[in-house]
Structure 1
Amino acid sequence: MDERSLRMALMCVSEPGDPAMARLVCENGVEKVWEQLQRDGTSMWGRRARDLDVAEVQRNTRRHGMGFLIPGDPEWPMQVDALGMCGEVSGFGGPPLGLWVRGEQRDLSAFDGRAVAVVGSRAASAYGQHVAGEIGADVAERGWTVVSGGAFGIDAAAHRGALATGGNTVCVLACGLNLDYPRAHHDLLAKIAARGALVGELAPDAYPTRSRFLGRNRLIAALSTGTVIVEAALRSGAKNTVNWAETIGRPVMAVPGPATSATSATPHELIRSRSAELVTSGLDVLELLAPVGQELLPLPEVEERPIDGLSRRQRGIFEHVPGGGDGATTAEITAASGFPRGLVAATLDELVRAGFVLGEGGRWRLRPGSVG
C-alpha cells in the first residue's frame, strides 16, 4: 500500500488523538507500524488490522464524495502539525495521521492563519447564541474562516452567522462525515459542506462517542489561529477545546455574560485568571488575532455635550449651582466652590449668557437641559 492508504488504515484501527499511535508513527513510520500490526494477532489494533478492508474504506470515501488528505499534500492544513510539538490533554495528543474532508472548500491550507474557533455550551442562552452568531458573521465577513463542531447552541449559532454573510465555515465532526450528527442539523451540515467543509479523523459510517468528541476538540483548536469561548459551564467540552488552544500556544478569548449565569462560569473564570482576553464582538477578536496594524477597532465616538466646552473655572462653579428648588445665592455658591466671590459673580454672569444658568432675584439655578 502507498502512504495514503497506510495512513487511512492506521486511522481505522486506532482512535482519534491516541498518543500511543502518534508516537509509533513518529518513531517508526507508517509502513513499519502497519507491518507490525499485521503480525500482531492479539492486540486490539492487531485484530482490527487483520479484519480491515482498506479498499472498501476507500470506496466508501469516494462514494460519499469525500477526500482524504495527508501531511505533504498541498491542501494539508499545516497549523495542525503543532499538535506534534505539544503535550497531551486528558490523555489525548498527537497530530492527525490524515483528515477526511467533504465539501466545497477542500483546500484546508487556504485558511492557515485566518481561522477563528468559536465554541461553547450546547444549552446556550438566547444571549449566547446571539453573540456567537454576531462573532461568526463579523469574522467571516472580513475573510476569516469560522471553525466549530456543529453541535446545538453556540457551535450552530457561529456556523449560521458565518453562512449568513456568505463567508466560509468549517465543521469538525466526531463521526464519519456521511453521518448527520446531531440528526437535527442535517440542513445546517449540508449548507456548511456547500460553502465550506466538513472535516474529521473518522472513516465513513463511524459513530460518535464521548472519547471521539475529546479527540475532535484538539483539531478545532489546532485548525484555528485563536479560540473564542462564548458560554460554558465549569464542566464543559468547550473548556477542553480551550485547554488545547492553551497547550498549543494559541490565543484564547472569552465573552462575558451575566454575573449570575452558570453558563458563563467558564468564560468568567478564564477572564478572572487572565487565561483569556475579554471580547464582545468579532472586531475585538480580529484586533487580537490579525497581524499588527490590521483589523484595528475604530475609536469609540463619544457624543460631545454642551458643558464639555466650559473652562475649568466655569465648570468648577457650574457644578455647585443647584438644578432645582429655590436655587442658591452667590454667597452660597462661593462657599461651596471655594472661588473668590467676585470671580464667582462674574462667572455666573458668563454662564447665564451662555445659556447654562438662570438668575432670578439674586438666586441661581441650572437651566433645564443644560447638563446633558
Structure 2
Amino acid sequence: MAKILSMGRAVVCSLCATVLGLALVATSPQVACGQPAPVVDSTGQALVENHPGGAVIGLLRGDTTAVHGFGAVDSTGRRPTARTVFEIGSVTKTFTGLLLADAIERGEVGRSTSVTTLLPDSVTVGTTDSTTMTLGHLATHRSGLPRLPSNLGATARPGDPYATYGDSALYAFLDDYTLSRAPGAKYEYSNLGMGLLGHLLTRRADTTYAALVRRRITGPLGLSDTRIRLTDAQHSRFAQGHTRAGAPTSPWHFEALAGAGALRSTAADLLAYLRAHRHALEAASGPTLALQRAMRRAATIRAATNRENTRIGLGWHQSARDGHEVLWHNGGTGGFRSFVALDRETGHGVVVLTSTPLSSQVVLKTGRALLRGLQPD
C-alpha cells in the first residue's frame, strides 16, 4: 500500500489509569512496544490513505503501551488519539461472554442453564429434537440460531438496523422459529445468539445491558470510556464514521440485541482490557480476584468453529498463528471497524480502530500483521 500524502505522524502515548492495580506506561515515540515507529506509521497511514476518517493503532507489550493516531476524527481535521471514541461492533461480544463467565462465578447461572428458563413463560424456542439450548451454546455460536432474526428488516431503520429491534420483536421471532438443527451440532456465527445471551443475562440481573457491563466489567476495570450512551464530553471525542462508499454516517443504536455490538470504546480502554486479561491468565496458579477468574473462564476454549485453526471460548475466538495461540475478535458497524487480539504466549496485544471505509478483513489482517511484528522472533 502506497505511502500517504503529507500527513505527519501523531503518536499518543499514555496512560495513567490503573487496572487491577497495574499502571499503563508510556513508550518512546521512536519505538512502539518493540516495533520501530516508522513501521507502525506506514501500516497506520495505509488505513487512511485516500479515505475520509481516522484510525488508531494500540500496541501492548508487557505493561507498556503505545497508541498511534492517523487521519482525522471529523471535518475539523483533528487527529484521533488514545481517547478518541469509536464504535467497536462485535468486539462487544467478548464483554457479553465475560458477563456470562462472571455470572457463572457468582453462581447465578451455569453454561448448561437452559435459555427457556430465562425467557418469559410465554416465549418458547422450537427445536428439532429434545436437545436443550443453553447459555453455553449461545456464547460459542452453537445454538442453532441464524446470524440475524428474519424479522429484523421489519423494524430496521435505514443506516441503523438494530435501533428499534426490541424485546417484543425478539420474542416474536423466537416463538415462531424452529431450529433447523440441534443446539451444539454446528458452529454458526450469530449476532442474534450473542444478542440473546446479553438479553438473558440482563433479565437474570434485572437491569439493562449498559448498566450490567458498567457494574461488573468497566467499573471494576476503570474503563470509563467503554459504554453505550456517551456523556457530552465523550461525544466531543466521538469519531465520525464513514460508509464503504466514503460518506459520513450516523452511529448505530441497539435495543434487545445490545450484547451483539452496542459498545463504544477507545484504544486506551481496550489496551487496558487486554492487559487485564493477560494478567488474569498469568495469575492462573495463585489467588485471584473473581473478575480475573471470570476472564480465565471466558478465555478457556470450549468448542471448534468452522475454521480448522480457530476455536472459541465464551465470546473470544482463538487461532493458532505462527505457533502462537491468539485470542481475538473483530467488529464492524455502519461506519466503523475494530480488531483486538492478545497473544497468549507472549502477552502482547494489539488494538486497531477505524472510522474509514475499509472492510473488516483489511482491519483484521492489519491487526494480525502488527501482532506478528511484536513477537520476539
TM-score normalised by structure 1 residue count = 0.26
Higher strand share: 2
Greater share of helix: 1
**Rg (Cα) greater in structure:** 1
